């Protein structure tokens, strides 16, 4: 294939991806809350009788307790959205914990030209036998609950579950995964700016800043041959509530939903998974928009503490975090087999 032809194909693929994303955002979307959006994905709930036989992988004992300690430390910093003292302190906290495990932290800091706000994504890479990678992600920012026109939307918010739980999980999964020899490269990403600056979602017009930027940068680098492909993406968002219920998030890739359910069966955690099914526009959406298989582990449907002052460590459980860790570690080998080994 000539260089000119290769470049032309690359441009066509890029334009196709952009058009797909634009069409997707023309339909109503609601971030991390009940959603009635139609999607390019198959939004039909999976058949829970069709279970993949997976070996259960139990997380190290005490992982949930250590993750809860991170949640408490993060909440002690107060609100953690761009411009707050807690935001910058949290970045240093995440960086310090990861470096203590011998992991090199990459910071991507930028200022959004429209919002005039500074955001920072953090990431670490755990090399595998191949360069194709699996992204495991969360968002580290908290909802802005000040300066809104409606007084009911202004209150002290520490985001224990919504922001804190996913961040804590990645901090504790990092040394576990670093101690393994994965086939695929694993990248842990802490997104900034997931929460909408407006109180309401408004089609993510002022939300998902970190994941949108990450995917754009990845696509640009991929087209230039500077990065390997992302085989799949796993998102952790609100995974620590005492009465844990990870809904079947219907925009997520069906095959990955099946893997998640199969992991729950393997670990005996069915009671905490897929009792309800509903879509949620979240940090996995930009990945889905460009065709990257993705799954969102989220406890939103029926969560009484979401975006309220009650989202505190007292309404979380280390057992729920331990369950989530079991699920992720049990899913990963099958995700590798499905999306990486089958492509080798």
- Number of domains into which the chain is organized: 1
What's the pLDDT at 61?
Answer: 98
Q: How far apart are CA 317 and CA 117, in angstroms?
A: 33
What's the pLDDT at 139?
Answer: 98
pLDDT tens string 128-149: 999 999 999 999 999 999 999 9
What's the pLDDT at 119?
Answer: 98
What's the pLDDT at 29?
Answer: 36
Contact predicate 172/165, CB 8 Å: no
Residue with tokens 């470049």: 7
Domain range holding 165?
3-343
Q: Give the CATH number, domain containing residue 277.
A: 3.40.630.10
What's the pLDDT at 18?
Answer: 40
pLDDT tens string 74-129: 999 999 999 999 999 999 999 999 999 999 999 999 999 999 999 999 999 999 99
What's the pLDDT at 11?
Answer: 38
**Residues of the chain where predicted confidence (pLDDT) is lower than 70:** 1-41, 344
What's the pLDDT at 10?
Answer: 42
Contact predicate 326/269, CB 8 Å: yes
What's the pLDDT at 314?
Answer: 98
Contact predicate 336/183, CB 8 Å: yes
- Taking CB atoms within 8 Å and a gap of at least 24, the contacts of 337-343 are 338/232, 338/255, 338/259, 339/134, 339/184, 339/231, 339/232, 339/293, 340/130, 340/132, 340/134, 340/183, 340/184, 340/231, 341/183, 343/132, 343/231
What's the pLDDT at 70?
Answer: 99
What's the pLDDT at 48?
Answer: 98
Of residues 295, 283, 260, 331, the one with CA closest to residue 163 = 283
What's the pLDDT at 342?
Answer: 84
């Amino acid at each position: 294939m000539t260089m000119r032809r290769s470049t032309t194909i690359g441009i066509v693929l890029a334009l196709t991806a952009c058009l797909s994303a634009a069409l997707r955002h023309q339909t109503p979307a609601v971030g991390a809350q009940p959603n009635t959006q139609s999607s390019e994905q198959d939004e039909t709930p999976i058949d829970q009788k069709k279970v993949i036989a997976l070996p259960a992988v139990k997380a190290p004992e005490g992982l949930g307790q250590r993750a809860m300690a991170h949640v408490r430390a993060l909440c002690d910093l107060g609100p953690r959205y761009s411009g707050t003292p807690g935001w910058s302190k949290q970045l240093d906290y995440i960086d310090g914990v990861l470096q203590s495990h011998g992991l090199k932290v990459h910071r991507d800091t930028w200022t959004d030209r429209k919002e005039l706000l500074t955001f920072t994504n953090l990431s670490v890479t755990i090399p595998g036998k191949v360069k194709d990678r699996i992204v495991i992600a969360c968002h580290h920012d908290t909802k802005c609950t000040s300066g809104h026109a409606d007084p009911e939307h202004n209150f002290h918010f520490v985001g224990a579950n919504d922001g804190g739980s996913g961040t804590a999980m990645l901090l504790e999964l990092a040394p576990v995964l670093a101690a393994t020899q994965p086939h695929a490269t694993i990248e842990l990403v802490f997104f900034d700016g997931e929460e909408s600056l407006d109180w309401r979602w408004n089609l993510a017009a002022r939300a998902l800043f970190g994941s949108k930027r990450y995917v754009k940068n990845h696509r640009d680098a991929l087209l230039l041959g500077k990065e390997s492909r992302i085989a799949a993406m796993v998102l952790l968002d609100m995974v620590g509530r005492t009465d844990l219920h990870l809904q079947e998030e219907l925009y997520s890739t069906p095959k990955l939903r099946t893997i998640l359910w199969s992991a729950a069966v393997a670990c005996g955690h069915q009671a905490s998974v897929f009792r309800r099914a509903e879509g949620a526009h979240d940090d996995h959406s930009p990945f889905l928009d460009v065709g990257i298989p993705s799954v969102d582990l989220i406890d939103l449907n029926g969560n009484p503490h979401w975006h309220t002052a009650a989202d505190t460590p007292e309404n979380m459980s280390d057992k729920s975090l331990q369950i989530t860790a079991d699920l992720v570690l049990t899913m990963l080998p099958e995700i590798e087999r499905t999306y990486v080994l089958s492509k080798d």
